[in-house]
Structure 1
Amino acid sequence: MTLSRPLLSLLLLTLSAAVVPVAQATCTRIYSGVQVLDGNSAQLPFGRVNLTSTYLQPVGTPLGSVVVSPASAPGLNSETVLWECDLSDANDIYEVFATNGDDRVGGYWEIGNGAGTTVNDGLPGYYATWFPYVGVKLTHLNSGRVFTRYWQQSKITQYDTVGNKIQIKAKHLSMIQADLARVSSRPPNSGSGSNYCWDNAATSGSGVYTYNCTQPNGYVVFRGGGIYSDPIGSDANTAIAFWGQYNGIALGMRSASSISYTATCVARNVTPVVSFMPITASELNQGITRSNFTINLECSNDARSGTATNQTALGIQVAYNAYAQAQSLGLLTSGGGVSYLVSNGYGTDPSVATGVGISLNNASNGTAMNFLGWSNTGTGATGGWYPVLAGASTTGSNLSGYTSYSQTITATLGTLPGKRATPGKVDATAYVLVKVQ
C-alpha cells in the first residue's frame, strides 16, 4: 500500500494577548429629576389663546408662539447642574426629545397631520392639546428638529469644565419653541395609550378657561456616559423608561395658558418688505431715515379695540434672535417690550451694521411704539401692545358683521442710544400679532 502525500496540512497556531482594563466613562445625575413629573414641567406660557369665527381664523391660523428654556422648570435655574460627566464623555452626550407620546392631549395624536381624524389639515408636527381645535408644535432650536412621538437626539456641545469633570447645566440645554395653530378636529376619546385628563376644555362660552390638564406636551431627556435614554427612533407611546428614572425635564401648557371665545380682529396683510434708502454711517450718526408700512386688518363688529381685559390689541414682535440681542444691549422696557429692533446677525455677522436699530411710531397719531418681546408677560405700551384700531382708517366690508381697516406704521432707522453707527447691512425681521388681552 502506498500512502499518498496529504493534500492538506494543518498547522497549530498559538495566539496570546494581554487584556488590559478599559476606562469606563461615567455620568451622574446631580439634580433631583422631579422636573420630569407632570406638575413640575417647564411651562409653555402662551397666556390667553382666543378662538373666534373660522371666517376670521381659518384652519392653520397661528394662535401663539413662545420660546422657553428647560431651566424654567420649578426648582431649576440656568446655573443648576443637571448632570456631571468625565471629560472622556464630552463627545458622547446628547439631548433626547419627544412629545408626551402616550397621552391623548399630550403628544399621541398628530392632529394637524390627520392622525385620529378624517381631515388632514396639512400641519405636520402639530399635536392635539387639551384646548379644543388647538394644536401645538415643539421645535428643538439647537437642532431645528420638530418634536414627534419618536425619540430624536441632538449632541450637547456646550458645557462647563470643572477639574477633570464636565457639568451640563440647565442653560446648556436647547431653547424650545412652541407654536399653536387652529386645527379642524378634536382628538378621539379612545385609541391613545393614556387619556389622563379626559375630554377637553370648554368649546364655547363667555369665560376664560385655564389649561387645567397637567399632562406635559413634550420631554427633554439626557443620554451619555452610562445614563441611558429610551432608544432613538422608538415610539414614546410605549418607550417611557426615562420617566421612572427621573431622567429629564417635561414641558407643558399647564396653568400658564387659557382659552376664550371673544369677538376680535385679525391681520389680513402687511407690507412684506420695508426698505430704507441707503445712508452712510456718518449721515446716520447725524440723523435718521424713515419708511412707512401698512397693516390691513379685519374685525368683527363686536370686537373692542384696546389693551384692557377682553379688548383686542396689536403688537409687532421682534424675531427671537433679535430679542436675545436686545437683552444684551439693554433695549428691553420695564414691561418686557423692546425699544429697538436690530438686524438679523447683529453682533455675530461682520457684514451687519452695528450701533443701529429700528424704532416704530403710529403714522396717524404719532405715538411712539415699542416692539413685543418674547417674555409673554408684558401688557400695554411698555409690553408692546396698542389698541388695534388706534389711528386706523376704515376701508370697507367684505361680509356682513365684519369691517376692514388699514393701519399705517412708521419705521425709523437710527443709532441706538449711546452708540455710534458702523457701516454694514441691516436686514431685520418682525411679526405682526393681533391678540385679545
Structure 2
Amino acid sequence: MKDNNTAQLTFGRVNLTSTYMQPVGTPLGSVVVSAGSSPGLTAETVLWECDVRDANEIYEVFATNGDDRVGGYWEIGNGKGTTLNDGLPNYFATWFPYVALKLTHLNSGEPFTRYWQQSKITQYDTVGTKIQIKAKHLSLIQADLARVSSLPPSSGSGSNYCGGMAASSGSGTYSYTCNQPNGYIQFRGGGIAHDKIGSDSNTSYVFWGQHNGVGFGVRSAASISYTATCVARNVTPVVTFSRVTAAELNQGQTRETEFTIGLECSDTTASGIGTNQTALGIQVANASYVKAQQLNLLTNRGGVRYLVSNGYGTDPSVATGVGISLRNSSTDTAMNFLGWAATGTGASGGWYPVKDGASAAGSSASGYTNYAQTITAILSSLPGLTATPGKVNATAYVLVKVQ
C-alpha cells in the first residue's frame, strides 16, 4: 500500500466564499467511492482469500488516518485542537483550510473515527473450498465536506507529513497536493495481521506493514478557490403529483408540478457553466443513480435523464417503469439531473447557469441579491418500459457550484 495508491475522493472544485454566504457547517461537497477505484484495482480484484470455514469470521475494519495532522487526527468539527466547537462530530481537518471531511462506512452506517471499528463481510465469492473477498464486496464509502471555523494546530499530531496547508485566499484555484490518506479499510479474518478493534489509529497501524488494506484520500482529486458565487437558501421541500394510473402513463399521459428554489447571489457572481462561473444542478440520490445506470438512463456526461423512486426494483410497493424529468419553467428548457460521476460537466452532466430563468426578488444584505428559480417536475413512463402500479417517492438535492 502506498499513499499515492488511495481511492480518490473526487470532490473536484471546492469553493469558499464569505461566511455570510457559507456559515460554519455549510456542506461543500459529497461523493461516494468504492475500494475498486483505487489504482490497480477493479471491482473484480481479489483482495483476500480464505477457507470456507472462515466465512462467518471475516470483517472490514476501518478508521481515519489517525496519525496525520490533515489525514484524520484532529476532529476539528467537534472542537479538537481548537477552542471553538462547531457541533460537527466526525468531521476531521483536511489540507484545505477551514474545510473538514467526514467519512461514512455505508454498509454499517458508521462514521470513521480514529478508533478502529469493524463491520461483518457478508458478500463474497466461493471458489471450491475457498472464499474470495473482492473489491466489490467491501462497503462503499461516502465522503462529505463542510466548512469549519478553525485550522488544525501545527503540532500535536503524530505526523505532519505534508506541512502547512493550501492557500486560504487568492484569485487562483489551488490543488489538493497533499497525498496523505484520509481513511483506511483493512481486513480481519483468516489469521491475517490486523489492528485491534477500538485501538487508536494514531498509534495503531499494524495493517500498513502487512499491506492489508485499501486507503481513501482527497489527494489530486480536488481544488479550492475563493470566487464570488451563489447559495441555495431554500427549496420547496415536498413536490407532489396528482394521482395517475399506470394505464394513463402507458398511454403517454404525464403529470406536472412546479417547485421553487430560493437563491442568494453575490452581485459579482458570474452565472454560467464555464470556468469560474456558477451553475445549478439537481442531484439524484446515490441509490437512484445506481439504478439509473442499470436502466440506461445516463447521458454521455454522467447526467441522469430521469429520477427513479427510492426502492425501485427492490420494494414491491414502488411503481416501476416510471420516472421524473425536469424542465426550467421560465425558459422551457429540458434539464438533466446531476449524477455522481466526476465527469459530469455542462448541461449533459446536469449543470445549468444558476440565474437562467430566475427572477430577482430583492436583497437582504448590501452586495447580494435574492432570486427565485422555478423548475417543473414531470412524472411519466420511462422510455421503452411499461409503467406498473405503485407509489413514487424519490429524493433529489439542489447543488450550487463554481465550475
Same fold (TM over 0.5): yes
Q: In 2, distance between residues paired with 1:325 and 1:228?
A: 37
Query: Tell me, what secondary structure is at the counterpart of 2:56?
Result: coil
Residue-by-residue CA offset, 1:276-306 (whole Å, 9 max, x unaligned): 0111111121200000000000000011000
The residue that corresponds to 1:434 in the other structure is 400
Query: Tell me, what secondary structure is at the counterpart of 1:274?
Result: coil
Is the 2:193–2:210 Cα contact (8 Å) retained in structure 1?
Answer: no
Structure 2: gaps spanning 5 or more residues: none
- Distance apart, 1:376 and its partner CA: 2.4
Give 1:103's aligned amino acid. D
The residue that corresponds to 2:70 in the other structure is 105
Q: In 1, distance between residues paired with 2:194 and 2:275?
A: 45
- Distance apart, 1:153 and its partner CA: 0.3
Matches within 5 A, 1:11-50: 34=1, 37-50=2-15
Residue-by-residue CA offset, 1:86-109 (whole Å, 9 max, x unaligned): 000100000000000000000000
The higher radius of gyration belongs to: 1
Q: In 2, distance between residues paired with 1:144 and 1:377?
A: 27
The residue that corresponds to 1:68 in the other structure is 33
Q: Does 1:266 align with 2:231?
A: yes
The residue that corresponds to 2:256 in the other structure is 290
The residue that corresponds to 1:180 in the other structure is 145
**TM-score for the superposition, normalised by structure 1:** 0.92
Query: Tell me, what secondary structure is at the counterpart of 1:293?
Result: strand
The residue that corresponds to 1:195 in the other structure is 160
The residue that corresponds to 2:201 in the other structure is 236
- Distance apart, 1:353 and its partner CA: 0.3
Give 1:258's aligned amino acid. S
The residue that corresponds to 2:350 in the other structure is 384
The residue that corresponds to 1:167 in the other structure is 132
The residue that corresponds to 1:321 in the other structure is 287
Q: In 1, distance between residues paired with 2:35 and 2:249?
A: 41
Equivalent of residue 98 in structure 2, options 120, 128, 133? 133
- Distance apart, 1:378 and its partner CA: 1.1
Equivalent of residue 156 in structure 1, options 96, 99, 121? 121
The residue that corresponds to 2:82 in the other structure is 117
Query: Tell me, what secondary structure is at the counterpart of 1:65?
Result: strand
Identity fraction in percent: 76
Matches within 5 A, 1:351-390: 351-390=317-356
Query: Tell me, what secondary structure is at the counterpart of 1:396?
Result: coil
Q: In 2, distance between residues paired with 1:316 and 1:93?
A: 39
Aligned length: 402
- Distance apart, 1:420 and its partner CA: 1.1
- Distance apart, 1:258 and its partner CA: 0.4
Q: What CA RMSD, in Å, does the superposition of the two structures yield over aligned residues? A: 0.5
Give 2:72's aligned amino acid. G
The residue that corresponds to 2:175 in the other structure is 210
Q: In 1, distance between residues paired with 2:181 and 2:225?
A: 21
The residue that corresponds to 1:246 in the other structure is 211
Q: Does 1:416 align with 2:386?
A: no
Residue-by-residue CA offset, 1:378-420 (whole Å, 9 max, x unaligned): 1101100000000000000111100000000000000000011
- Distance apart, 1:228 and its partner CA: 2.7
Q: In 1, distance between residues paired with 2:152 and 2:400?
A: 27
Is the 2:180–2:217 Cα contact (8 Å) retained in structure 1?
Answer: yes
Give 1:206's aligned amino acid. S
The residue that corresponds to 1:219 in the other structure is 184
Q: In 2, distance between residues paired with 1:376 and 1:112?
A: 26
Q: Does 1:336 align with 2:302?
A: yes
Is the 2:193–2:206 Cα contact (8 Å) retained in structure 1?
Answer: no
Query: Tell me, what secondary structure is at the counterpart of 1:91?
Result: helix
Q: In 1, distance between residues paired with 2:147 and 2:82?
A: 14
Q: In 2, distance between residues paired with 1:66 and 1:161?
A: 31
Residue-by-residue CA offset, 1:130-176 (whole Å, 9 max, x unaligned): 00000000000011000000000000011011111110011111100
- Distance apart, 1:199 and its partner CA: 1.2
**TM-score for the superposition, normalised by structure 2:** 0.99
Structure 1: gaps spanning 5 or more residues: 1-33
Equivalent of residue 395 in structure 1, options 344, 350, 361? 361
- Distance apart, 1:66 and its partner CA: 0.2
